[in-house]
Structure 1
Amino acid sequence: MTASQRADARRNHGRILAVAEQEVAEHGAGASLEQIARIAGVGSATVRRHFPTRQSLLEAVSRQRVEALAERARELTGEGDPREALLTWLGDLTAYCVTARGLATALSYETDPVQGNSCASAISDAAEPLLRRAITAGAVARDVTAFELMSLVVGIAMVTENHRDPKAAADRLLAVAVTGISPRR
């Protein structure tokens, strides 16, 4: 491959990703790959060469958001009450999933042992120190996993996606999940 071919491939990748970000923001995780190719001015085979699966495209679109969530988890890891730090981060994750169309779907893909799921892994890895700290403080049950918390948030985001006020509905469901359904005493 010549330098000009590599430069062209990088430009195509960037163009495809930029268009995909717009299309996913507008149409969610089901955005048409053919429409993305058309708008980017490339063939659908070129899209598939750069992003062989819908999952890989959604992960690429969500990468910046996931990195911001990981950074937020690092900021909160050393702050104040361990339970509150974890709950703050879960609230941030929920808000991102509700407002960033496609992120919940990117996180919901079953992890493939060969391809993996870089978004889900990054989110679980980011949550782990917050969760361990809360568990050590006795604020969270010892058997709760980061993957379970992420799955809970993804489920909440997906079920509230079409509500009139998705963020408010998601916040309420997260609060119910955290406090449980037992009456307050």
Structure 2
Amino acid sequence: MVRAILDGRKTQHRIQVNLPVIGINMGCEIAGNELAGEINSGCYWNSKLGKPGDRLWVRETCYATKSTPHGIRAVAYPADNEIKIIEYADQHIEKWETLFNYCNAVAEQVPSTLMPRWVSRITLEITDIRVERLHAITLGDICKEIGCGLYDFIPATHGFLVWEETWKSIHGQDSWQSNPWVWVVEFNRVEAA
């Protein structure tokens, strides 16, 4: 998925809504259909993910390199083998040591769930956000979600099966049948300055 974001093929992401949502203005529970109506009409008070124009950062698996004799420390990103120099000599040693301490002693791998913000190299700008049921996805949205072309699925019903299996592999077998409410976040990648 990181490669698909880097290539500009993945421009949408779904995240399950954690119900109940407590309304920020009244302090009461908001049902999924109420949240969908609110967000989809452009009122983002209760959006846990932000609103159009806000920026998100992407977590991904990475590797912290050991210090070289020249004092160079870096982070490697296996999705596309990019290497980002973090510091020279004594600059930012404390931050890098914290990252390195997350690492597995053998592989020096930092799982995406433990990646700190300052190591992230991908920034996304939200272009649209809405709430809908998981099964309401269209074939076009499946392509935006998994980073494929519209004509990659012949017959088209194969795309829906691929999406179902992808969702189950991430969220568990029972997660599909419950047809949960999901945040649908559309985004563009913001190029680094």
The answer, yes or no, to whether TM exceeds 0.5 is: no
Shorter chain as normaliser: what TM range? under 0.3
Bigger CA radius of gyration: 2
TM-score by length of 1: 0.24
Q: Counting helix residues as a fraction of each chain, which structure ranks higher?
A: 1
Bigger share in strand: 2
The answer to which structure, 1 or 2, has the higher relative contact order (CA under 8 A, 6+ apart) is 2
